[in-house]
Chain A
Amino acid sequence: MTLRTARALTVVYLALFLVAAIWPGVLVASRIHPFVFGLPFSFFWYAAWIAGAVPVLYLLDRVERRYRDGGEG
């Protein structure tokens, strides 16, 4: 994956996270059912966006480091 793609992916993910967290995006998750892992859907929604950030940021870091080690970027 190129540096540009990894950065674009991260920025897109964070932008979607922001939209999903505030009105009107959050309206799709503003509900109690279905329960996921015992949590009401609204609670799970926020937890899932945080958990999803872990692999996205990890991937970004791997690509960024490869580019830095290669002396580019």
Chain B
Amino acid sequence: MERWMWVTVIIAIYLVANLVIGLMAGRRSTKSVTGFVAADRSFGLLVMYFVTGATVFSSFAFLGGPGWAYSRGAAAFYILAYGVLGMAPFYWVGPRVADLGRRLGHVTQAQLIAGRFPSRGLSALIAVISLIAFVPYITLQIEGAGIVINSVTDGHIPFWLGSLVAYGIVILYVLVSGAVAVGWTNTFQGVFMVVIAWALGIYLPYHLYGGIGPMFEGIANARPELLIPPGLAATGQPWSWGSYSTYILVSAIGFMMWPHLFMKAYTAKNDDTLRRTVILFPTFQLFLIPVFLIGFSGVLFPQAPADPDSILPFMILRTQLPAVVVGLFCAGALAASMSTGDALVHAAASILVEDGIWPFVPMTERVRRILMRVLVLLTGAVAYYLALHSGTSLVQLLATAYGVISQLAPPVIAALYWRRATTAGVISGLVAGIATAELFFFHPALKPLGMHEGILGLLVQVPVLVAVSLLTPRQSQEHLDEFFPSASEVESAAKAG
């Protein structure tokens, strides 16, 4: 049997294992909307840890991370910087969101915001924002899966087939089992990613250069510009401090605003689980270290891949590693893609129904669950189509996705912590913020200091939100009492805020 066949066998075993775990998990879930969207609020610490870690680290981290380290050097460190900063506030925010969810029946972020600021238009606006950000993100995951399978099988499995099989499996287990499947498969996928990344990240520098230190000494002599922040821009020119710094800021602010991550607050069994997931998250974040080492190991390698993002499979195929190891690596990379892709597809369908359609068209619980499944299929199909027919513009779309998603931060914070905020204030702030972010996205030459358009949007949104809220009448006391139950809770929240 040839090498690529062995690789294919390993991948096939891995994919079947995913399918089995995903389908088995569904037998534990109830047939309700809360069951499908929030796994009956049942996840314990182990599952939450890997769900969160594996969902955060997508194809972007596993393929894009090494790609950035390889081609842009220290610019990649921005990816290291924001995760912990973005996650830590969730130690206090998460349990509060979960508590409101249990009392008021929320399962999505938009329900929280539109619950505090009643407006069906606001709910629909958030659903639209989420979708605009999600579709290119899902498409990128599908592309990642197709690229990995195609390259490690020496092109024997074409791109369209590899991505179709991998995502066919994802769609199948999400359809059958909902959030529970996402949880248990991500636990499996998360373990895979971490082990493979550390093993390769240490193996490659030792195998090629005799150690991590000698590898960096070599880079310091030949390409010192790669090791000094802010590294290089995509053009190969030095990146600007303004751009580097605001990328970190907008990513830290936008991080937990991604609806598929935010909604994890609703899946945790209890507040302690949620808090401990936050406490343990930095240990998962350290997994980026070997990922970057893999990218740096390509810098002094005599040959170069066609595209920086494929540096990881490129290096793997040139190490003479046994086929089993190559297959396992491939499974790790697929894990990164699938563990984010499933959460995204699942969240996109849940949000469309709960926030985009249900507020306008009354439906029974059964119809909502069926509709969610139809939309899982539809979202997957649209993203698959885009993955086959898109150019490089998707990377650009994803870049603007952070700019748009980060605009959800002020409404969430206002809903949870600012009693004087009003519906009119939040809607006008959000619209102004998004308009600003889009303006600078389409006219990048106007950006002051190369700042990220998301930060510019926030700089406009916050004053508008505050000013319009103060100019409009305060919300009724009964309504506020629902959201701010007791004085002691408000006090602890204020300390945390």
Is B496 located at the chain interface by the 8 A CB criterion? Answer: yes
Residues of chain B lying within 8 A (CB to CB) of residue A57: 88, 91, 278-279, 282
Residues of chain B lying within 8 A (CB to CB) of residue A61: 91, 275-276, 279
- In the complex, the chain B residue whose C-beta lies closest to that of A72 is B488
Question: Contact mask B57-75 → A, CB, 8 Å, 1/0?
Answer: 0000000000000000010
A23–B228 touching, CB < 8 Å: no
Is B212 located at the chain interface by the 8 A CB criterion? Answer: yes
Is B477 located at the chain interface by the 8 A CB criterion? Answer: no
Question: Contact mask A31-42 → B, CB, 8 Å, 1/0?
Answer: 111010111101
B80–A32 touching, CB < 8 Å: no
User: Which of B85, B230, B492 has the most chain A CB within a 10 Å cutoff?
Assistant: B85
How far is A62 from B25 in the complex, measured between Cα atoms in Å? 33
How far is A23 from B275 in the complex, measured between Cα atoms in Å? 30
Residues of chain A lying within 8 A (CB to CB) of residue B224: 32
How far is A31 from B229 in the complex, measured between Cα atoms in Å? 8
Is B9 located at the chain interface by the 8 A CB criterion? Answer: no
Q: Please pick, from B227, B241, B286, the residue contacting A47 in the complex, using a CB distance under 8 A.
A: B286
Is A1 located at the chain interface by the 8 A CB criterion? Answer: no
Chain A 27-73 interface residues, beta-carbon cutoff 8 Å to B = 29-33, 35, 37-40, 42-43, 46-47, 49-51, 53-54, 57-58, 60-61, 64-65, 73
A5 smallest CB distance to B (angstroms): 12
Known pairs A30-B228, A32-B227, A42-B74; A60 contacts B286 (CB<8 A): no
Q: By DSSP majority rule, is chain A's interface helix, strand, loop, or mixed?
A: helix
Known pairs A22-B245, A31-B228; A58 contacts B213 (CB<8 A): no
A20 smallest CB distance to B (angstroms): 9
B88–A14 touching, CB < 8 Å: yes
Is A9 located at the chain interface by the 8 A CB criterion? Answer: no
A43–B228 touching, CB < 8 Å: no
B337 smallest CB distance to A (angstroms): 24
How far is A54 from B496 in the complex, measured between Cα atoms in Å? 19
Q: Looking at chain B, what size class is its interface with the partner chain?
A: 35 or more
B282–A42 touching, CB < 8 Å: no
Q: Please pick, from A38, A46, A50, A64, the residue contacting B213 in the complex, using a CB distance under 8 A.
A: A38
A53–B88 touching, CB < 8 Å: yes
Is B84 located at the chain interface by the 8 A CB criterion? Answer: yes
B225 smallest CB distance to A (angstroms): 10
Residues of chain A lying within 8 A (CB to CB) of residue B229: 26, 29-30, 42
Question: Contact mask B285-319 → A, CB, 8 Å, 1/0?
Answer: 11001001000000000000000000000000000
B216–A53 touching, CB < 8 Å: no
Known pairs A38-B212, A53-B282; A22 contacts B248 (CB<8 A): yes
Question: Contact mask A2-31 → B, CB, 8 Å, 1/0?
Answer: 001001001000100110011110100111
A23–B242 touching, CB < 8 Å: yes
Is B211 located at the chain interface by the 8 A CB criterion? Answer: yes
Chain B 242-267 interface residues, beta-carbon cutoff 8 Å to A = 242, 244-245, 248-249, 252
Is B283 located at the chain interface by the 8 A CB criterion? Answer: yes
Is B495 located at the chain interface by the 8 A CB criterion? Answer: yes
Question: Contact mask B483-497 → A, CB, 8 Å, 1/0?
Answer: 000001000100110
How far is A21 from B227 in the complex, measured between Cα atoms in Å? 15
How far is A20 from B19 in the complex, measured between Cα atoms in Å? 43
Q: Please pick, from B91, B213, B228, B276, the residue contacting A42 in the complex, using a CB distance under 8 A.
A: B228
Contact surface of B with A, Cβ cutoff 8 Å: 74, 77, 80-85, 88, 91, 211-213, 215-217, 220, 224, 227-230, 241-242, 244-245, 248-249, 252, 272, 275-276, 278-279, 282-283, 285-286, 289, 292, 488, 492, 495-496
Query: Told that A38-B213, A57-B88 touch, could you supply 15 new A-B pairs with CB distance under 8 A?
Result: A18-B85, A21-B248, A29-B229, A30-B228, A32-B228, A33-B220, A40-B227, A46-B77, A49-B81, A49-B84, A50-B84, A54-B282, A58-B279, A61-B91, A73-B492
15 contacts across the A-B interface (CB closer than 8 A) = A14-B84, A17-B85, A21-B85, A23-B230, A23-B242, A24-B241, A26-B245, A30-B228, A31-B228, A35-B213, A46-B77, A47-B80, A57-B88, A57-B279, A58-B279
